[in-house]
Amino acid sequence: MLGVANDRSIAWGCTAQARAQGAEVVASCLNDKARKWVTPLTDPIGVDLVNCNVEEPGQLEALVEHAVRKLGKLDFVIHSIAWAPLDDLHGDVVDSSREGFARAISVSCHSFAELAKLCAPHMPDGGSMLSMSYLGSGEAVPNYGLMGPVKAALESMVRYMAMELGPKNIRVHAVSPGPILTRAASGIADFDGLMASAQAKAPLQRLVTLEEIAQLSTFLCSDAASGMTGQTIYVDGGVHAVD
């Protein structure tokens, strides 16, 4: 479970839901600074926590090695990390720096492929791999900026990974939640306005909850979703379905 930051993070919601359903889980947080917020969550429910900054060589490998030692084999992985330099995130896409775009793609997108390569050999019975996307991958959302093209690349990667890993009975999906106030989302300009717009547009006339995102994610990791792969699945109150 990559990307637990605090009790509002999607990775934490998925961790708590998976544990409630009886799964053994190893989770990651970014660094020691993040641990002080995360260990009070993970320790009481018996979840091992490992520091993992995917930009640091060897840390992703160390996380997977720890998980395999702890769990024996892997049944699912959930990748819930995204990042871009603030200057690039807050500016126009046409003004984004080459370096900033490359780092955003590396952290938010390519790390999912790296994770899959490391985990697949430890899924002898198949399994599921999930990453988190957003509506801004397929349409231009004000203030989402650079992350829109990055998430579009992530969703394309999901389709290719599903094709490549399908013969190993490994299923791959992107979950596309509606906006909720996570630490990563707080870096997006006028995120409150984005949430208000989503609520006004949603057929359900509300925002989704962390629990609803986690319930979809754990369903996709379960045998109940055994016939599904390669999809971007929305949990956004229906926003994606209306103009």
- What long-range pairs does 47-52 form, CB within 8 A, spacing at least 24? 47/1, 47/15, 47/19, 49/4, 50/26, 52/2, 52/28
What pLDDT sits at residue 195?
Answer: 85
What pLDDT sits at residue 194?
Answer: 83
What pLDDT sits at residue 25?
Answer: 98
One digit per residue, the tens of pLDDT, for the chain of length 243 reads 999 999 999 999 999 999 999 999 999 999 999 999 999 999 999 999 999 999 999 999 999 999 999 999 999 999 999 999 999 999 999 999 999 999 999 999 999 999 999 999 999 999 999 999 999 999 999 889 999 999 999 999 999 999 999 999 999 999 999 988 666 666 676 778 888 888 999 999 999 999 999 999 999 999 999 999 999 999 999 999 997
The 3-state secondary structure of 46-101 reads CCEEEECCCCCCCHHHHHHHHHHHHHCCCCEEEECCCCCCHHHHHCCHHHCCHHHH
What pLDDT sits at residue 185?
Answer: 64
Residue 144 appears among annotated catalytic residues: yes
Out of 132, 144, 149, 157, pick the active-site residue: 144
User: Which residues belong to the annotated binding site for substrate?
Assistant: 84
**Structure tokens given for 203:** 């057929």
The whole-model pTM stands at 0.94
Residue 187 CB-density burial (10 A; 0-12 exposed, 13-18 middle, 19+ buried) = middle
User: Which residues belong to the annotated binding site?
Assistant: 3, 9-10, 81, 84, 151, 180-184
Confirm if 7 and 23 have CB atoms less than 8 A apart. Answer: no
Domains of the chain, start order: 10-241 (3.40.50.720)
What pLDDT sits at residue 135?
Answer: 94
> What does the alpha-carbon distance between residue 227 and residue 125 come to, in Å, rounded to a whole number?
15
Residue 234 appears among annotated catalytic residues: no
Q: What are phi and psi of 133, to 5 degrees?
A: -120, -160
What pLDDT sits at residue 44?
Answer: 97
Helix axes 147-165, 98-105, angle to 10 degrees: 40
